[in-house]
Amino acid sequence: MKLDLSANAQLLAERLRRFIRGGPSGARNPDPVGDIGPSELEPKEYSETDLVRPNELVDLSEAWSALEAVREEIEDEVLEPSTRARQHACLDRAARQLAQVAVTQTVYSNHRVIEEISHDIRSPLNSILLLADSLHQGHAGPLNAVQKREAGVLYTAAVTLVRLVNDLMDAARLASDRHEITRTPFSLSTVLAETRNLVAPLAAHRSVHLSFGPATGRRVGDRQLLGRVMLNLASNGVEAAGESGTVVLRIDESDAQSLRAHVRDTGRDADLERLRALVAESGDFYPRHDQGWTRGLGLAISGRLARAAGGEVTVERVLDGQTQFTVYLPFEEA
């Protein structure tokens, strides 16, 4: 039965025929087609035996139709058993490669959707955050005790949502290998102050005391990356410290070639194996654990961000059962 193929499927079928005629030794190593991903990648050189051209999208149903059509043609031909076996082997190999390309492109598209939606959500959330902060600070006029408390709750909720949206954007970028690490001079005190300002409402809502140590130096590295990691770890510490607990953040500036930040909370007897698995996580960016998937996502992203910059995040138990995260980054003195 002759299949009715679309124009794209017919084109793909013709490439399959050329690939099969060339055989494994005649084709220009078709394995790299599985690496095709983002459209912004530099175009590759290709030959007539390539199944997928650079930046070409693959529709899985069209690919399947083309494969079925070519398979039927092989079955209808009178061939030596060895030739038929070789052609079937080539076709099976092509099927695996096309499936890999289609899956890679689908995953990449999903990451782009998450990133774009998160970006659109973040803009109005930032407006809510600024207005809530203005209300809480009394810039629009004095508030009574109830109004001030409600404005604080609104600000805390906005910070939590902005943090989650940032996590989703980072997850999408890192999963698609599109997160660029910048290297520019920046002030440690500025990053520390920004982190404290964002975490303070969360801490006040839970009656957690913040102790952020002074930082006076300047470093060369990715300022935004450091801020994202510190915000995630400090926010995680506030959640773990519990009512009337304490979160301590200290930056070690003693090494001119690298930077270490320590975030310690007074939460007792945390599951260190779980925390270490989260910060070391490399495959699943959407972990779900009994303690809540949003915290797991932030810790997983913190570990991946640090590794992307050539550093790492470690977890240890200190003092009387308190938990300390240490962030190492190769950010030298400016």
The two three-digit tokens of residue 298, written as one number: 């932030």
* Listed residue (42, 57, 44) closest to 102, CA to CA: 57
Give the pLDDT of residue 22. Answer: 65
pLDDT in the model for residue 24: 44
pLDDT of residue 38: 37
Which is higher by pLDDT, 263 or 163?
Answer: 263
User: How far is 212 from 13, CA to CA, in rounded Å?
Assistant: 64
Q: What's the confidence (pLDDT) of residue 113?
A: 67
Question: Dihedrals φ, ψ of 168, to 5°?
Answer: -65, -40
- Quick: pLDDT tens for 76-125: 888 788 888 888 888 888 887 777 777 777 766 666 666 667 667 766 77
Got the DSSP string for 183-209? -EEEEHHHHHHHHHHHHHHHHHHTTPE
pLDDT exceeds 70 at position 35: no
**Average pLDDT estimate for 150-167:** 77
Pick 320 or 1 by higher pLDDT. Answer: 320
Best-predicted range by mean pLDDT (37-41, 94-98, 170-174, 319-323)? 319-323
Q: What is the SS3 string spanning 269-322?
A: CCCHHHHHHHHCCCCCCCCCCCCCHHHHHHHHHHHHHHHHCCCEEEEEEECCCE
Q: How confident is the model at residue 226 (pLDDT cuts 50, 70, 90)?
A: very high
pLDDT in tens, 46-80: 344 467 766 667 777 788 888 888 888 888 888 78
CA dihedral (329, 261, 273, 321) in degrees, to 10, reads: 160
Mean pLDDT to the nearest integer, 307-312: 91
Between residues 251 and 198, the one the model is more confident about: 251
> Region 297-310: what's the mean pLDDT?
85
108 contacts 37 by C-beta, under 8 angstroms: yes
Task: Name the least confident of 20-24, 194-198, 222-226, 295-299.
Answer: 20-24
Q: Is the pLDDT of residue 207 over 70?
A: yes
Please tell me the predicted confidence (pLDDT) of residue 58: 73
Instruction: Output the pTM of the full model.
Output: 0.58
302 CB-contact burial (10 Å; exposed 0-12 / middle 13-18 / buried 19+): buried
